[in-house]
Amino acid sequence: MLYRKRLILFCSFFIFIACNEVQKTSFSEINISAENNTIVEVNIPEAHGNEIIADNINSKIQDMVIEALHIGNPNDDAVSKSIKESILSFNKEYNTFKSDFPETEQQWDAQIDGEVIYESPDIVSIAITSYVNTGGAHGSLHISFLNFDAETGHVISNKNLINDVEAFKKVAKPYFSKAIAEKEDTVNTNSFNLPLNIAYSEEGLVLLYNTYEIAPYSTGIIEFVIPFDEIEPYLVFNSF
């Protein structure tokens, strides 16, 4: 009888371990399009595993893609409810533009790509790169980082990535100065503020300033990486 109980406990333990392994979040790349679409391409990661965690991650990625494809006021009630609907709406806006200006040679296009740039038991970092051209002098390139709590799928804000911002900034400032060494004429160097986009990567913590964030369009994107071993004491999440 005792042997039987031990056997049941032994089997239950391995079933529990196996279930946890199955529930581990994984990612695959998906391509999303819509009927008669020829000007929008969307390639993004899709989370799988624990349904709640995966839904939280996928929902946030979807919202970011929808926002990138939206034409007009982002607070408009007409914002699409899905990526496919956003693609259709983008195509519709372009067709309306062509109808209003039949002689124009301007073309619209949009390319959105997502990539998982870091995974650990604690945190998942994803980069979403969007390029949207609606016929202006140049298209709009924007990179957004999303950091997720690996145990819940909830987004981690920048303020919850770093436990001592002022100490962290002292380490980051020399890297910032090096990154803008050839761009100081266009970048305001009087003050140093952390960017809107910070994420984990295999090389270290990535800090990225999009165009117009601290400099004019001509300066382009400013990006640099700080190795983990230099900032480990200031990170809320382990880098291993």
Can you give the pLDDT of all 240 residues of the chain as single tens digits? 544 545 444 444 444 444 444 468 999 999 999 999 999 999 999 999 999 999 999 999 999 999 999 987 666 656 788 999 999 999 999 999 999 999 888 899 999 999 999 999 999 999 999 999 998 777 899 999 999 999 999 999 999 999 999 999 999 999 999 998 877 667 776 788 999 999 999 999 999 999 989 888 888 899 999 999 999 999 999 766
**20-49 confidence digits (pLDDT tens):** 444 689 999 999 999 999 999 999 999 999
CATH number of 25-155: 3.30.565.40
100 token code pair: 């209003």
Three-state secondary structure string covering the chain: CHHHHHHHHHHHHHHHHHHHHHHCCEEEEEEECCCCCCCEEEEEEEEECCHHHHHHHHHHHHHHHHHHHCCCCCCCCCCCCCHHHHHHHHHHHHHHHHHHCCCCCCCCEEEEEEEEEEECCCEEEEEEEEEEECCCCCCEEEEEEEEEECCCCCECCHHHCECCHHHHHHHHHHHHHHHCCCCCCCCCCCCCCCCCEEEECCCCEEEEECCCCCCCHHHCCEEEEECHHHHHHHECCCCC
Residues of the chain with CATH 3.90.640.20: 157-240
72 token code pair: 């007009």
Q: Whose CA is closest to 30, among 85, 83, 76, 67? A: 83
Question: Kind of pairing, strands 40-48 and 109-119?
Answer: parallel
**What is the maximum span of the chain, computed from C-alpha positions, in angstroms?**
87
Surface-to-core class of residue 45, CB atoms within 10 Å of its CB (0-12 exposed, 13-18 middle, 19+ buried): buried
Amino acid at 61: I
Instruction: Give the separation between CA 235 and CA 10, rounded to whole angstroms.
Output: 38
The count of other CB atoms within 10 Å of the CB of residue 148 is 23
Residues of the chain with CATH 3.30.565.40: 25-155
Fold of domain 157-240: Actin; Chain A, domain 4 (3.90.640)
